[in-house]
């Protein structure tokens, strides 16, 4: 007997994996016609396919309190205040997943991916044809890492995980267990002992860059993250933002203050921490000025390939190894060297702030305030670490209106609702092409 809507020729295309999965998981996909698959693949789904999408969504939704999340993301202050008050109740706090949980779950990779609801197919032709490479540098909080990976995961991308060499053995083993369940996720073969504000943070990304270039996936752009980052966009939205860049990179790159200039004027030594000596350094071996920015950026494949192959760039990187917090001036300076692919001229018209770049949204405590009175962003509703906002659910409405691809910092132990609602918003939007708002 012919199954309505399940045509044999679908099984010959990548897209048919979607319908096959839906049928197997729900047993109730018999009225969805061929136009649904065509619609998903060509980004032209209409409301006539809503029932099919609903069935699909039910198999992959992440079980957030969707009604509350819709209100929170929509900026409903009553819902936000109620949620923040509830978070103070110790009896309501959830127990985070531990390394042991992940060791046990990943013993059966198929079950792990099914139970954790990973996407195992591209949701559009555009996404499939535009793979992205990720470097994720982590050292703790296994659940937050796995939730980040799940949210950005799609099989056409490739993910390099750099685990701090001094991280607990149990953490490292859990990360490797998770990575072992995916052919396109791997732990970097060379791991650094990452010391705050030292060269090791840059080297961690360089290690991943080198391996990502050797990977058979012909990725188009590189994005680096840490374990407390979380996306603000779906993979489809990220791809479209990268296509618009048209080969250009996007990263903060501004004129350094007098204080920041001192970071590369003296030789620094690293033991358990970084410390400045009184030994003066030589001038940087480049003909262009130095700039400052931050550690996180979006760069083209050509940029990554050039910096690993160029003798000029390698000489500059070697010079920068003993500077203070090189991740905040190395990338920003490379972005203004004319011979670097995707770079911008060092003319003042091309200075770019972190708010103008698309890579990462960060709220600094000393700049928060009333945006109607000139503050760059509203006050943090969570807490602060090293002057950076750890977002609360009350921050979601504003940050989701920004153009940034990712935001930092999130921590489910500070506000799990913020992470949960963002997860559900992005999963819903990936499937329905519209958010919870």
Alpha-carbon distance of 392 to 389, in angstroms, equals 9
Spatial contact of 363 and 394, defined as CB atoms under 8 Å apart? no
Q: Starting at the edge strand that comes first in sequence, how are the strands of the sheet with 132-138 ordered?
A: 185-187, 158-163, 132-138, 221-226, 298-300
Task: Look up residue 309 and give its two tokens.
Answer: 């192959």
Query: Ramachandran region of residue 380, left (φ > 0), alpha (ψ -120 to 50) or beta?
Result: beta
Question: Angle, to 10 degrees, between the axis of helix 301-309 and the axis of helix 200-214?
Answer: 110
- Which residue among the candidates 192, 252, 328, 420 is catalytic per the annotation? 328
Of 16, 23, 31, 30, the C-alpha closest to 56 is 23
Alpha-carbon distance of 23 to 27, in angstroms, equals 5
Q: Report the run of H or E that residue 225 belongs to, with start and end.
A: strand 221-226
Planar angle of CA 166, 96, 386, nearest 5 degrees: 55
- Annotation marks residue 328 as catalytic: yes
Sign of the four-CA dihedral 372, 377, 382, 384: negative
DSSP letter at 183? T
Query: With 0-12 CB in 10 A as exposed, 13-18 as middle and 19+ as buried, what is 384?
Result: middle
408 bridge partner residues = 229, 362
Alpha-carbon distance of 128 to 338, in angstroms, equals 32
Quick check: bond before 409 cis, omega within 30? yes
Which residues in 400-418 are b (16+ Cβ under 10 Å) and which e?
Answer: beeebbbbbbbbbebbbbb
Q: Which residue has the tokens 């018209």?
A: 349
The residues annotated as belonging to the active site are 328
């Amino acid at each position: 007997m012919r199954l309505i809507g399940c045509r044999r020729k679908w099984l010959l295309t990548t897209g048919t994996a979607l319908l096959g999965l839906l049928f197997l998981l729900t047993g109730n996909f018999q009225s969805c016609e061929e136009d649904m698959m065509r619609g998903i693949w060509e980004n032209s789904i209409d409301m006539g396919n809503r029932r099919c999408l609903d069935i699909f969504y039910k198999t992959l939704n992440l079980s957030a309190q969707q009604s509350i999340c819709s209100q929170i993301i929509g900026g409903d202050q009553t819902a936000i205040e109620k949620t923040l008050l509830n978070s103070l109740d110790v009896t309501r706090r959830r127990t985070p997943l531990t390394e042991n949980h992940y060791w046990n779950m990943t013993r059966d990779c198929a079950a792990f991916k099914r139970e954790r609801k990973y996407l195992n197919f591209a949701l559009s032709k555009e996404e499939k044809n535009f793979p992205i490479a990720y470097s994720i540098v982590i050292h703790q909080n296994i659940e937050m890492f796995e939730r980040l990976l799940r949210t950005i995961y799609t099989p056409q991308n490739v993910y390099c995980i750099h685990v701090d060499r001094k991280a607990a053995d149990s953490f490292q083993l859990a990360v490797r267990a998770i990575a072992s369940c995916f052919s396109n996720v791997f732990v970097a073969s060379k791991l650094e002992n990452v010391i705050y504000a030292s060269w090791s943070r840059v080297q961690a990304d360089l290690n991943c860059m080198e391996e990502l270039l050797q990977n058979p996936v012909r990725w188009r752009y590189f994005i680096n993250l840490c374990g407390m980052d979380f996306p603000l966009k779906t993979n489809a939205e990220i791809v479209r933002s990268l296509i618009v860049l048209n080969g250009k990179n996007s990263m903060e790159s501004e004129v350094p203050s007098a204080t920041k200039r001192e970071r590369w004027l003296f030789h620094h030594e690293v033991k358990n921490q970084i410390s400045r000596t009184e030994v003066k350094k030589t001038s940087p071996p480049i003909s262009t000025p130095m700039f400052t920015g931050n550690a996180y950026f979006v760069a083209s494949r050509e940029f990554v390939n050039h910096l690993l192959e160029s003798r000029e760039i390698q000489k500059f990187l070697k010079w920068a190894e003993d500077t203070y917090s090189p991740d905040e001036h190395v990338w920003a300076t490379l972005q203004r060297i004319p011979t670097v692919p995707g770079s911008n001229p060092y003319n003042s018209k091309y200075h770019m702030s972190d708010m103008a770049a698309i890579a990462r949204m960060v709220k600094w405590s000393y700049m928060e305030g009333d945006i109607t009175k000139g503050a760059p962003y509203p006050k943090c509703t969570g807490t602060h670490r090293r002057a950076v906002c750890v977002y609360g659910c009350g921050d979601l409405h504003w940050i989701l209106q920004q153009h940034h691809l990712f935001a930092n910092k999130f921590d489910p132990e500070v506000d799990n609702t913020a992470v949960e609602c963002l997860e559900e918003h992005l999963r819903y939007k990936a499937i329905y092409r519209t958010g919870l708002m």
